[in-house]
């Protein structure tokens, strides 16, 4: 369960802004690396939230999806969104659980996906990420041999260098980044979990969030509530960020500053790892 975000409360605003960015690539990767048609595959959406990725995969033709999340509030939203798929059996199960462990028998799934979840798993920041290691070992255990594990994440380099809003206060970004493994740390985690990373890619653009380019967004509590990043901000940092935005706006320089500090179009904000289970 996340240390710094209350997802039962966040569930009320989450879908106002968030998209299943990269779900099309994910569907293609699952089909290619499992070597079977999507309709024959069962995918675990681990940390499914409000079910945006599960819905997208079902729309692309995945046969069955199981939902797992620690937050009853997020799961309630998912159940409403996916009511038809639950009724038709395309959603096989909806499970409330805190990872690790992953409460399913060995080899239950063809694919397991973690979308923007792993930075919430370790409740104490640690360069070793012990709970993420345990969770990935569990993901390997519940995935069939020949299956895949997919991870989407925002890398520390993305947070510190490529997104305009996270450059408003670098101390806050450094604190958030302690929960985000780097590429090198992910490589060690994959090795510990005995899975083999076969693709690493960035998805260009900013469609992770509908109001990504709302330059006054950080002034608005509802806007801040759709990203856990803001929950780590101290009052002083928040005041500093608000002052910076207000000053830039009053000088007519806010948009230029933000665009000058944003590389979402050329570097992307979302990184995807595709791992095979031998």
Ligand X SMILES: C[S@@+](CC[C@H](N)C(=O)[O-])C[C@H]1O[C@@H](n2cnc3c(N)ncnc32)[C@H](O)[C@@H]1O
Which one of residues 33, 55, 92, 120 is an interface residue with ligand X (CB under 6 A)?
120
Beta bridge pairs of residue 273? 151, 200
User: Should residue 117 be labelled a site residue for ligand X when binding is judged by CB under 6 A?
Assistant: yes
- Which among 1-9, 84-92, 143-151, 182-190 is the span making contact with ligand X, rule CB under 6 A? 1-9
- Nearest distance from C-beta of residue 35 to ligand X, angstroms: 25
Cβ-contact 68, 45 below 8 angstroms: yes
For residue 53, state whether it binds ligand X (rule: CB under 6 A).
yes
Closest residue by beta carbon to ligand X: 49
Q: Which is nearer to ligand X, 26 or 195 (CB)?
A: 26
Can you say how many angstroms the Cα of residue 156 is from the centroid of all Cα atoms in its chain? 14
* Long-range pairs, 162-166, Cβ under 8 A, ≥24: 162/262, 162/263, 162/264, 162/267, 162/268, 162/269, 163/262, 163/264, 163/269, 164/215, 164/257, 164/258, 164/259, 164/261, 164/262, 165/217, 165/218, 165/229, 165/258, 166/229
**Residue 208 lies near ligand X (rule: CB under 6 A):** no
Question: Is residue 199 near ligand X by the rule CB under 6 A?
Answer: no
Q: For residues 238 and 218, give the distance between their C-alpha atoms in angstroms, rounded to a whole number.
A: 8
Nearest distance, CB of residue 7 and ligand X, angstroms: 4
CB of 53 to ligand X, least distance (A): 6
Under the binding rule (CB under 6 A), the answer on residue 63 touching ligand X is no
Count of residues in contact with ligand X, rule CB under 6 A: 20
From CA 113, how far away is CA 44, in angstroms rounded?
6
Q: Which residues contact ligand X (rule: CB under 6 A)?
A: 1-2, 7, 18, 47-49, 52-53, 69-71, 74, 98-99, 115-117, 120-121
């Amino acid at each position: 369960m996340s240390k710094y975000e209350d997802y039962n409360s966040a569930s009320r605003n989450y879908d106002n802004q968030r998209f299943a960015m990269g779900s099309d690539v994910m569907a293609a990767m699952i089909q290619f690396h499992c070597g079977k048609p999507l309709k024959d595959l069962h995918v675990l959406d681990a940390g499914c939230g409000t079910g945006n990725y599960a819905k997208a995969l079902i729309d692309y033709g995945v046969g069955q999806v199981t939902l797992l999340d620690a937050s009853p509030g997020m799961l309630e939203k998912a159940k409403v969104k996916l009511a038809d798929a639950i009724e038709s059996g395309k959603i096989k199960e909806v499970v409330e659980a805190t990872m690790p462990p992953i409460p399913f028998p060995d080899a239950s799934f063809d694919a397991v996906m973690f979308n923007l979840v792993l930075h919430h798993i370790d409740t104490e920041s640690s360069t070793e990420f012990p709970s993420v290691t345990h969770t990935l070992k569990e993901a390997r255990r519940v995935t069939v041999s020949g299956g895949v594990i997919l991870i989407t994440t925002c890398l520390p380099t993305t947070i510190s260098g490529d997104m305009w809003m996270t450059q408003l206060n670098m101390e806050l970004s450094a604190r958030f980044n302690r929960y985000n493994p780097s590429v090198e740390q992910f490589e060690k985690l994959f090795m510990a979990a005995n899975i083999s990373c076969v693709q690493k890619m960035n998805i260009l653009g900013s469609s992770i969030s509908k109001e990504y380019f709302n330059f006054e967004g950080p002034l608005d509590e509802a806007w801040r509530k759709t990203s856990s990043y803001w929950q780590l901000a101290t009052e002083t940092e928040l005041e500093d960020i608000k002052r910076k935005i207000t000053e830039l706006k009053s000088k007519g320089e806010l948009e230029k500053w933000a665009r000058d500090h944003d590389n979402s179009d050329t570097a992307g904000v979302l990184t995807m790892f595709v791992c095979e289970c031998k």
